[in-house]
Amino acid sequence: MMSTDNRSTAAEVSQIKARRSLMENMLRGLRQAPPTALFGMAVIFLYLMIAIFAPLIAPYGESEVFPDAYAPWGEKFLLGTDQLGRDIHTRLIYGARNTIGIAIATTVLSFLIGGSLGLLAAINHSGWLDQLLSRIVDAIMAIPSLVFALMLLAVFGTNAFNLIIIIAVIDATRVFRLTRAVALNIVVMDYVEVAKLRGEKMGWIMRKEILPNITPPLVAEFGLRFCFVFLTIAGLSFLGVGIQPPTADWGSMVRENAGLIQFAEYDITAALTPLLPACAIALLAVAVNFVVDWFLHKTSGLRDEQ
């Protein structure tokens, strides 16, 4: 008989081989990725590094005010200052941390809510729970998202916590629809019926039988939902009801510096200043879409024509 030590060693070797195989598959996938996907991944990685290490990269404090309001681009202030004398370069860096961080937290929460309820509705297809959840989702989706968010923020207040909860709940309706739709194709499979006959609990069936088979579309949807949430937060901040000052945010930075455009005939950099946060928003949205498009193509089973 094989000793306990030998079994442990064999298990460790098997785990090492599995990890090595996973790394090789990931590297092979990256080598086969198109230039657009590689560009998107590089941009996302750069943004994440800026967001994580913002206090180390930024030359000044996030809310540090200088007496030089509307200072031009120069050696002291690389991208000038805003109407209060805050360094725009610094606030762009901190804006990456705040805007992206809140968008990721909101997207994760919306998937936890919408994904869980979507799985429950799919398992209870045509039952009372499915009908109840579907009708609630229909009612919420009947109201335009931006209008609904503005109304709720006006009622509950415009702080970061309320912003995350409100947008996550509104966006969870889209996640619910997708999760329920793709899960309905899985719950009728034989292996799910066998698991039910074995007496497996619903939680186990959702985690082990259904969720692994609907992961690719959900991962792709996560990227798209992140873009929509990210743009929604930036739009709300531009309207003055999103992330509130003195917290740096790209949407509010566009609004605060929009007045500089009128000085374009005297200083061309003044016209470019409000475009910087707008370009940062657009670049991230494009990069995420590049990666999502590649992932969808890769998981669809299609192959490029040689």
User: For residue 57, what is the domain's CATH number?
Assistant: 1.10.3720.10
Do 6 and 100 belong together in one domain? no
- Please tell me what DSSP assigns to residue 244: P
Position 306 in a domain: no
Could you tell me if 205 and 154 lie in one domain? yes
Claim to verify: residue 16 and residue 66 sit in the same structural domain = no
**Cα–Cα distance for residue pair 259/254, rounded to 1 Å:** 9
Residue 283 lies in a domain: yes
- Please indicate, yes or no, whether residues 26 and 47 belong to a single structural domain of this protein: no
Same domain, 10 and 42: no
Query: Which among 175, 275, 172, 281 has a CA at the least distance from the CA of 289?
Result: 281
161-175, 240-254, 271-285: least confident range: 240-254
Domain total in the chain:
2
What pLDDT sits at residue 134? Answer: 87
Answer yes or no: do 186 and 90 share one domain.
yes
pLDDT in tens, 38-92: 899 999 999 999 988 988 898 888 888 888 888 888 888 888 888 888 888 899 9
pLDDT recorded at residue 14:
58
Pseudo-torsion of CA 41, 47, 49, 55, nearest 10°?
A: 180
Banded pLDDT at 5 (limits 50, 70, 90): low
Within 13 Å of residue 77, how many CA atoms lie on the same side as its CB? 23
pTM of the entire predicted model: 0.82
Q: Are residues 14 and 64 in the same domain?
A: no
Residue 251 resides in a domain: yes
Please report the pLDDT score of residue 113 as a whole number.
92
CA of 136: how far to CAs of 173, 175, 180, 209, 253, in Å?
A: 9, 14, 14, 27, 36
Question: Virtual CA dihedral for 286, 287, 291, 293, nearest 10 degrees?
Answer: 10
CA gyration radius, the chain: 24
Amino acid at 42: A
DSSP state of 258: G
Query: What is the domain extent for residue 3?
Result: 1-32
Three-class SS state of 65: strand
Tokens of 213: 């088979």
- For 89-130, write each residue's pLDDT tens digit: 899 999 888 888 888 999 999 999 998 888 888 888 777 888
The Cα 116–Cα 176 span in angstroms is 8
Whether 84 and 207 map to the same domain: the answer is: yes
Window from 35-39, 197-201, 223-227, 289-293 with minimum mean pLDDT: 197-201
Looking at the domain assignment, is residue 305 inside a domain? Answer: no
Does 269 reside within a domain?
Answer: yes
Instruction: Say yes or no: 61 and 169 in one domain.
Output: yes
Residue 263 lies in a domain: yes
Other C-beta atoms closer than 10 Å to the C-beta of 143 total: 12
Assigned domain for 304 exists: no
- C-alpha 265, offset from chain centre: 38
Identify whether residues 100 and 153 lie together within a single domain: yes
201 falls within a domain: yes
**Do residues 11 and 52 both lie within one domain?**
no
Residue 277: cis peptide before it, omega within 30 degrees of 0: no
Angle at 231 between CA 234 and CA 87, to 5 degrees: 35
The reply to whether 18 and 65 lie within a common domain is no
Between CA 295 and CA 199 the distance in angstroms is: 36
Percent of the chain with pLDDT over 70: 86
Which of 5-9, 102-106, 197-201, 232-236 has the least mean pLDDT? 5-9
